[in-house]
Amino acid sequence: LRFTITRRSPAPYCFDRSPQTRIGKHLNVTLTVRKRPESLLHFLVRQRRSDSWQVRWQLPRPSLAGLSAGSCIVFEVQLGKKGEIDQEILSRLEIQGIGERRAEGYGQLCFNSLLLAEKTPSCLNSEHRSAVQSEVKAEKPKLLDANKDYPYARIIERAAWREAIRRSALQIAGDPQRRSGLFQWQPDRPTMNQLGALRSTLRSIDDVMSWLAHLGNTDNRREKWTDESLQAIRRLVTPEESLAKGNAIWQELALPVTELCITRNAESELKKELWAEAVTTLIDACIRAHKRSLESRDSSNPTEEEIIHGASN
């Protein structure tokens, strides 16, 4: 008996026990890597290593090393006393994964993947691909508010929209050029104190509007901003009904709306409901990313005082 294990996600190494031993213990079997027959591979594995740096502490973070997602290994299976593999345990192992960091998405497995078993995977077949595209294009009817499943469907939609907003905001924040083009922030204007003050008002759009109005009337604070950066903030936080197009934040986030809606009128209603949350999420993510960028720049360009202090030590 043999089966092929495919990594669905990276799996960090655990130096006291190999993945092979962990899987064998869960299934109550003994696994050995299959000896290589002629013209066949018995494993295809890539390693992944992540080394990061704690800027504030000026120290390295613990390294993460493990098997990359997509790694495949063929094992020979020596059955235990029962003489068979418990399918329930096998299914649970596929869902839960192995290792100590499963909650973070590491260690997911797939046993005997059809992608490896088929001679020509259906996903590469042109007829199958055309059929799937046609099915996607066919618009499914949306649930009406009279449907008994409508309240639960709306809960699912709302959660999906919030996750999509968060991901899109992080994607924008993680792109320095896009972030700079959107907010027009410079290394010294506005200062981090000003951005911190703005971030503290993000609990409410009304607070942000009041803060901007007070900023405009205070010269010594106003001069710490550029006209372009203030205009960019106002364009996002102004309520959409007062804008010419009314969808500045949604234009920037560019959410896959079709994939996020399963009820009728979901797009218009959720855009109105989550508009303020989307604005504050994007601004907060970009302020955090801008702060990390400045800290990284400062750490790579130490001041003269820091150089002298380091030399004296």
Q: Is the pTM of this model over 0.75?
A: no
* Whether residue 149 has pLDDT greater than 60: yes
CA dihedral 81, 85, 87, 88 (to 10 degrees): 40
* Whether residue 168 has pLDDT greater than 90: yes
More confident residue, 142 or 138: 142
Q: Average of pLDDT values for 137-156?
A: 74
Q: Average of pLDDT values for 141-154?
A: 77
* Whether residue 199 has pLDDT greater than 70: yes
List of domains in the chain: 2-113 (2.60.40), 150-303 (no CATH)
> Pick from 91, 84, 88: which is nearest to 110 by CA?
91
Question: pLDDT averaged over the chain?
Answer: 77
Segment of 11-25, 127-141, 145-159 carrying the highest mean pLDDT: 145-159
Q: Please check whether residue 2 is in contact with residue 73, taking contact to mean a CB–CB distance below 8 angstroms.
A: no
More confident residue, 241 or 78: 78
Confidence of residue 281 (pLDDT cuts 50, 70, 90): very high
* Whether residue 100 has pLDDT greater than 60: yes
